[in-house]
Structure 1
Amino acid sequence: MNHAVISTIEGPIAWVKLNRPERLNAMNRQLVDGLSEALAAAEADEGVRAIILHGEGRAFCSGDDLKDLDAQTASEAETQDWVEAIQAVTLQIMQSRKIVIAAVHGWCVGGALEWVINCDFRLFAEKTRWFFPEVTYGLFVTGGVTALLTKQVGPQVTKELLILGERHDAQKALEVGIAWKIVADDGLLDEARQLALTIATRPSAAVADVKRAINDGFHSSLEDAMAQETAATVRGFLSPEAQAKAKEF
């Protein structure tokens, strides 16, 4: 049984917790595979409307567990498989029809920070610290952030964050748009819960369509975006749930 990630269901919410606190929830294969399994299970559960991703202990996630990664013994095929497993989680988050909320505290580093950027809403606790160490180590980022960050914060800030790799606080995350909101450390999970419950009151199909159109819009042309909008709007107009809410309004 995989204990590196623990998933529980609370009404319309799937709580997905990174659970290697003795290693600050650092990413090893067990954690990456466990997260992928938890996200797949939440996606398949029709009752789940939002997923809250958070970490046990003193950190959200301290990035790759360098203790478990040894370039001296890993083959090219094994390394390729490892990176593709990390990238697969990005696709699960961004292509999910559920809203994924990141509740971030403590350290949030590297690949885990990239997963956070993939999430739909990012709540940062006041004492959160974060940075991208990869380029400093001669490595490279994942999670599509070279495209996502460039369009969110601009090429100059993206180069600052990725190339310089400096450590930042929660306020910096808010200023550059990585954090959606800063909350008190002891109120982080309650704030995430309330956000998830609010999302759960919205029509599920409309929420999923908006998420997909916005995420795809990062890379699509105007024509592609409008085609997706048209299809989604037609589905909305034909939805009895949407019609009932519009009449109520």
Structure 2
Amino acid sequence: MNETVLSTLEGPIAWITLNRPERLNAMNRPLVDGLIAALSAAEANDDIRAIILHGAGRAFCSGDDLKDLDAQTASEAETQDWVEAIQAVTRHIMRSRKIVIAAVHGWCVGGALEWAINCDFRLFAENTRWFFPEVGYGLFVTGGVTALLTKQVGPQVTKELLILGERHDAQKALETGIAWKVVPDDTLLDAARQFALAIASRPAGAVADVKRAINDGFHSSLEDAMAQETAATVRGFLSPEAQAKAKGF
């Protein structure tokens, strides 16, 4: 049984919880595979109208588990498979007919931040801290964010966020549009719940059609962006220099 991702049903809501709190929910293969399975199950359940993605413990997700990175032992095929699994999460979120809400608190870093950006709505707790560390390691981003962020915040801000990799607070996320709303820490999950219920009160077909039409129009270059990201990310993961920098961090 995969316990790195928990799925709980509450009426029309599927709560999907990243559950490695001892590692700040850092991404490893069981977590990624568990998330894909949970998203697939929610998608197949006609009673579910909205999905809330959040993290157990003190963080949403701290990005890749650096203990698992090893360019010396991973083959190119294995690395390609790992990056494709990360990208599969993006496809599940963005192609879902359900509205996916990210309820973010604590650290939200790297690939996890990219997953949050893939969600339809992003609620950040006031204690959220976020950044893109990948380029600083010599790695690369995923989740289609080279296309998504550029369209959301413009090319200049996107380059700033990705190249400098500086750490930011929840207010910065709100200012850039990465966060939809910022709420007090102790109200995050209830705010997500109430919003999910509001979504669920709307006609399911119309909501799904609106999501699909907006995503198809706004994110028309998503697949091209993700293909470029995958190739660059595989190169980064296989680079001993990049691995050394990541592990040093």
| TM-score interval (norm. to shorter) | 0.7 to 0.9
The answer to whether the aligner puts 1:61 opposite 2:61 as a matched pair is: yes
Partner of 2:32: 32
- Compare relative contact order (CA 8 Å, sep 6+) and give the higher one, 1 or 2: 2
State the TM-score, normalized to the length of structure 1.
0.88
Q: 1 CA distance for matches of 2:215 and 2:168?
A: 26
Give me the whole-angstrom Cα distance separating, in 2, the residues matched to 1:8 and 1:220: 33
The offset of 1:218, in angstroms, is: 1.9
Change (3 A) 1:143 1:20: same
Segments ≥4 residues shifted beyond 6 Å: none
- Is 1:152 aligned with 2:152? yes
Segments of structure 1 that go 5 or more residues without pairing to the other structure are 222-249
Which ranges in structure 2 are unaligned for 5 or more consecutive residues?
222-249
* Residues 25-47 of structure 1, C-alpha deviations (whole Å, 9 max, x = no match): 00000000000000000000000
CA distance in 2, matches of 1:203, 1:138: 45
Q: Structure 1 residues 220, 59: closer, same or farther in 2, change over 3 A? A: closer
- 5 Å-filtered alignment, 1:72-91, equals 72-91=72-91
Amino-acid identity (%): 86
Counterpart position of 1:99: 99
**What whole-Å deviation, never above 9, does each CA across 1:188-222 have from its counterpart, x for those lacking one?**
0000000000000000000000000111112449x
Q: 3-state DSSP class of the match of 1:67?
A: helix
- Letter in structure 2 aligned against 1:73: T
State the AA in 2 paired with 1:161: L
Query: Greater Rg, structure 1 or structure 2?
Result: 1
Q: Check 1:196–1:219 CA distance in 2 against 1; reply closer, same or farther (3 A cut).
A: closer
Match of 2:173 in 1: 173
Matches within 5 A, 1:15-26: 15-26=15-26
Partner of 2:114: 114
- Normalised by the length of structure 2, the TM-score is 0.88
Q: Residue 45 of structure 2 corresponds to which residue in structure 1? A: 45
Task: Tell me the amino acid that sits aligned with residue 163 of structure 1.
Answer: I
Aligned length: 221
- The two structures, once aligned, show a CA RMSD in angstroms of 0.9
Describe how 1:233-248 pairs up with structure 2 within 5 A. none
Partners of 2:148 and 2:219 within 8 A in 1: no
How has the CA–CA distance of structure 1 residues 78 and 186 changed in structure 2, closer, same or farther, with 3 Å as cutoff? same
Whole-Å Cα distance in 2 between the matches of residues 155 and 220 of structure 1?
A: 16
